[in-house]
Chains A and B, each alone.
Chain A
Amino acid sequence: MSSETDRSTGSTRVLGDTWRSVDDGLRSVGNRINPVFQPLADGYNRLFGAYFGEMNGLQFLLIFGSLLGLLTAPFWGTFSLIQTMTIACIWAVFAMSWDIQSGYTGYISFGHSVLSGVAAYATAMLVYNVDPEMSMAITIPLSILAALAVGMLIALPTLRLSGPYFSLITFVAVLIFYRMIRPFSEYTGGETGIQTVSVFTYDPLVRYYYMLIPMLVVAVALTFVARSNIGLVLMAIRENESAVNAAGLDATKFKLWSFVLSSIPMGIGGVLLVHYYGSVDPTTFVVVDNSIEMIAMAVLGGMSSILGPLGGAFLFVMLEDFLLEGLPASARWTILWTIILLVLVFARDGLFRKLWHALERYGRRGETR
């Protein structure tokens, strides 16, 4: 027994030493790179810091490096990488939208795929039932509005409920929507769905930007909101709802706001998805698995940080469709879910938040432990 303890502390010590030297190494690299980008970061901080938060040189490099990478991807990536990233853009919209509602307020929704599903079905059903020639200028706003309306329909009665009840009823909302599709197959196309929706384009390059640009707009908008007072209140609701009420703020009203903020981009994502595939069907658009995957993405990147879920979505979709693509499906999913579970247990705050804080530390000059 005692020898085992010795060994384990011994190995911990070795690990600790290794980690410290790696840590020091990274710090010195960080200290060298940070000043290079600090002036740019300072400029950014002066202009936008008040709205989006300040960052140091390393963090500036991460954000704008990634942005540059995303914008230029077709010029250096392979075909399947671009294909994967196109899909990842849509899922990033979903994960960020989920985050502003569930991640920030702590009211975990298991039913967000209803919102995107409603938007997608609204588009398809308008084209299928009303007018096949209806222009996107009409269907897109109407579909987003439909997502918003359904979002309110779910939010109004349920936000009074406490956490677990809220999760259950959002879960049930997915099941109800899913099961209604079949009895009304005359309008919904039943389980084979509707194929008559037009795609934006079959040109994969153009399509990539069709998905990327709305995703970036949503990211900027939600980051702005999350960094504003609304975001603060939403987080306060998660930490202590009665304190929010005691401070004279109507918590229910803010929770409702979070649903509005979430439903609109969910609607946008749903519309992007339906014009990506040019079709809707219940298994691709509605099933509860979709809701769970959104949550997994947000968890992976770090809940309540907007950009974390964005990164999480890219990481998740990349792993699923690109990095692990050669493996049989069940092995692939086993690996994915194991990673998510490990992150949940050992890195609750998410990988991208960890990265962000690490960059902050390594950027700090001359800091010693």
Chain B
Amino acid sequence: MTITLIPDQPESPTNRPPSMHRLRTWLRRPYARHILIWTVVIGFLLLPLAWLMLAAMNQTGAPASEIMKDIEQTVFVFTIVSIPITAFVFAVLLYSLVGWKQVSGDEPPMQDSPAIRTNRIGVILWTFVSSALAFFLVVWGLIELAQITANSYGTISADQQPGDNNSVIVNVTGQQWVWTFAYPQHDGIVSNVLYLPIDKPVYFNVTSKDVIHSFWLVELGVKIDANPGAITQTGVTPNKEGVFNLRCAELCGMHHAYMETEIRVVSQEVFDAWTREMGGMRTS
């Protein structure tokens, strides 16, 4: 569309049709209405995904901690937020293919389509909406990240970890292809199964004897790499009793697939009984 400037004709806002009128004109067009309807329909069809995703995540007993709850909340919100925009794109796709005009055949169509070069309102609206969405996601993510960092005691370094009775410190060692857990507050007992008391902060100091492993408490939503030559800190407060999965999430050699163990979140009494029972097995 070529636009010629007509300098001798001054701009006159009164000549402009009212914006509501323009919107109504636009909405009167069948394609505009169809796209809106299709977007809403596809959006509602996609909506169950938000719950289905959580159902898949919760299959083995998650969420078992505040962190996992935050993670699931994030997944849920992100799904809800991305559904309108996905539905809109899918609606345009589908509509342009089956709702609008179509030709087939070996020869290029004789009739060209309207030369829509750009649409200022559309472009501005899209930029604004997509930036706003991205901004929302970033802000949401930063807040949630701060929250899970706080919940996993990620800002507390190893020498500041309290050694008192109100928390548990676990030194996690990954090696090809077994996890071992040492409890320095409990006579340094060592176990191959991760026992945790419920509702008590747990501090993990994670390291590796050989290659990189990743310490993943699946239903508790904790993941941190176990690096050789370095100790990484994380933590969690489990709030649900049960048997959960601990898997290695970083390829670590032949038996990587078998480098898993169980997490037993138990009541304080059971935990105390277990530590007493293990106490005699102190390693040198």
Pairing of A with B: no
Residue ranges of B at the interface with A (Cβ–Cβ < 8 Å) = none
Residue ranges of A at the interface with B (Cβ–Cβ < 8 Å) = none
